[in-house]
């Protein structure tokens, strides 16, 4: 249920709730939009006969909120409806909550079981936790390589992953707030970087372009979708309303500057889609949280002269999935 809210509620956490009475689900809900009802309230609204709630269990992926935000505290609603049992995955790391709701429920005689499926709940909310604790968006490095470690060829367009992997990438695009590529990738591949093959929205596109080498009719500059261009030389007049410029030096402050800008814009997640140089900069600064790496098992010719080698991640993958003839490996930083 929580996952249904992914990509829709930043900078809020994604939260799902399920109400169970006598072994049956009688209500379920998720946080659908910023300012909208929280998951617990959505779930309660689905229950026809609310008189059974005192004999029901509320399962919720994150500790109910304690504070007045755009909506009143959920902990008070749980008490109002008489829940006697609450099961939750995670304590909310937000200082305004952080265990206070659990304490309040317990003081009112409610049995609370925190830490249920904690790891799964934590991974669901990695964007929110990263933003709250590290004050920057969650960073996902995404790329494809061949089994021989080839990432691309200089001066050539080279597609590596299969159609199923590409569709999955579009789903990921629907789940994140921003997507970033380096100058050469924009010049070579002319990517659109939008979500065309999955439901939901597209992320804010970010192009690194120190000297404004990328020019129309490149898709990122010409298709009327928003693009943030990070450059040392912003133009004095904006050529189009869909283009924004973020001035920055192209040194070790570049990536931290971008992360700060995204944080200020309430963007909780960033996917970096290449190229190799750009990905390596994030790795070198240890500014990444997760890497999603496709390896294509399709036979490819190995041309050494202009080959670009894929970055190497020096931790073992945490998960491996087959996607037809591709393999997807997921790595987590530390
Ligand atoms: N296999 C895959 O998943 C995949 C994904 C994307 C792209 N590709 C391929 O990769 C190739 C492009 O990769 P690439 O490594 O050559 O280029 P790239 O990473 O796309 O762009 C590199 C350029 O971006 C600028 N840049 C990026 N990060 C920077 C930083 N932190 N500080 C300073 N400058 C920074 C620099 O531009 P300046 O030199 O102008 O300053 C740098 O030369 C293309 O052939 C493309 O087809 C493959």
pLDDT digits (tens, 9 = 90+) for 222-278: 998 999 999 999 999 888 899 999 999 999 999 999 999 999 999 999 999 999 999
Structure tokens belonging to residue 94:
């937000």
The alpha carbon of 166 is separated from its chain's Cα centroid by a whole number of angstroms, namely: 17
Rounded distance from Cα 50 to ligand 1 centre (Å): 57
pLDDT for 303 equals 62
Measured by CA distance, the residue closest to atom 5 of ligand 1 is: 274
Total domain count, the chain: 2
Instruction: Give the angle subtended at the CA of 130 by the CAs of 58 and 184, to the nearest 5°.
Output: 135
Residues with pLDDT less than 50, the chain = none
250 CB less than 6 Å from ligand 1? yes
pLDDT for 297 equals 75
152 CB less than 6 Å from ligand 1? yes
Q: 67, 95, 126: which is the final residue of a domain?
A: 126
CATH number at residue 207: 3.40.430.10
182 and 309 assigned to the same domain: yes
278 CB less than 6 Å from ligand 1? yes
CA distance 136 to 128: 10
165 CB less than 6 Å from ligand 1? no
12 and 143 assigned to the same domain: no
294 and 202 assigned to the same domain: yes
pLDDT for 69 equals 76
114 and 262 assigned to the same domain: no
CA-wise closest residue to 199 among 225, 166, 163, 175: 175
pLDDT for 298 equals 64
71 and 120 assigned to the same domain: yes
210 and 289 assigned to the same domain: yes
**CA contacts within 13 A on the Cβ side of 162:** 13
33 and 145 assigned to the same domain: no
Q: 79, 101, 126: which is the final residue of a domain?
A: 126
150 and 82 assigned to the same domain: no
172 CB less than 6 Å from ligand 1? no
261 and 169 assigned to the same domain: yes
What residue numbers bound the domain in which 199 lies?
Answer: 135-332
CATH number at residue 76: 3.40.140.10
- Residues known to be catalytic: 40
pLDDT for 301 equals 63
Measured by CA distance, the residue closest to atom 13 of ligand 1 is: 275
156 and 262 assigned to the same domain: yes
Measured by CA distance, the residue closest to atom 34 of ligand 1 is: 250
* Ligand 1 atom with minimal separation from the 255 CA: 31
115 and 170 assigned to the same domain: no
141 CB less than 6 Å from ligand 1? no
Q: 126, 150, 173: which is the final residue of a domain?
A: 126
39 and 71 assigned to the same domain: yes
pLDDT for 269 equals 97
pLDDT for 120 equals 82
Measured by CA distance, the residue closest to atom 44 of ligand 1 is: 185
* Ligand 1 atom with minimal separation from the 157 CA: 47
Task: Report pTM.
Answer: 0.93
Mutate to test the pocket of ligand 1, among 159, 183, 329 (most ligand atoms within 8 A of CB): 183
């Amino acid at each position: 249920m929580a996952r249904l809210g992914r990509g829709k509620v930043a900078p809020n956490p994604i939260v799902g709730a399920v109400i169970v009475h006598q072994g049956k689900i009688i209500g379920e809900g998720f946080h659908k939009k910023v300012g909208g009802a929280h998951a617990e309230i959505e779930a309660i609204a689905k229950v026809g006969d609310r008189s059974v709630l005192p004999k029901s269990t509320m399962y919720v992926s994150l500790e109910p909120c304690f504070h007045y935000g755009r909506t009143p505290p959920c902990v008070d609603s749980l008490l109002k409806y008489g829940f006697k049992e609450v099961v939750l995955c995670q304590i909310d790391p937000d200082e305004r909550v952080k265990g206070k709701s659990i304490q309040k429920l317990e003081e009112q005689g409610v049995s609370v079981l925190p830490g249920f499926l904690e790891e799964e709940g934590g991974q669901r909310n990695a964007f929110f936790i990263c933003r709250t604790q590290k004050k920057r968006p969650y960073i996902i490095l995404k790329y494809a390589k061949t089994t021989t470690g080839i990432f691309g060829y200089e001066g050539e367009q080279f597609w590596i992953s299969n159609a199923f992997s590409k569709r999955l990438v579009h789903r990921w695009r629907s789940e994140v707030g921003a997507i970033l590529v380096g100058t050469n990738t924009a010049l070579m591949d002319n990517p659109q970087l939008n979500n065309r093959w999955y439901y939901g929205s597209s992320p804010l596109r970010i192009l690194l372009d120190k000297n404004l080498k990328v020019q129309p009719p490149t898709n990122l500059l010409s298709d009327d979708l928003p693009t943030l261009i990070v450059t040392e030389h912003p133009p004095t007049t904006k050529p189009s309303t869909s283009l924004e410029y973020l001035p920055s030096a192209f040194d070790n402050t570049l990536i931290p500057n971008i992360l700060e800008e995204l944080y200020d814009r309430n963007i909780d997640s960033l996917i970096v889609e290449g190229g190799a140089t750009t990905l390596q900069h994030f790795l070198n600064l240890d500014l990444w949280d997760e890497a999603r790496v496709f390896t294509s098992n399709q036979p490819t010719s190995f041309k050494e002269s202009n080959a670009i080698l894929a970055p190497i991640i020096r931790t073992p993958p945490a998960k491996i999935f087959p996607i037809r003839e591709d393999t997807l490996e997921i790595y987590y930083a530390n």
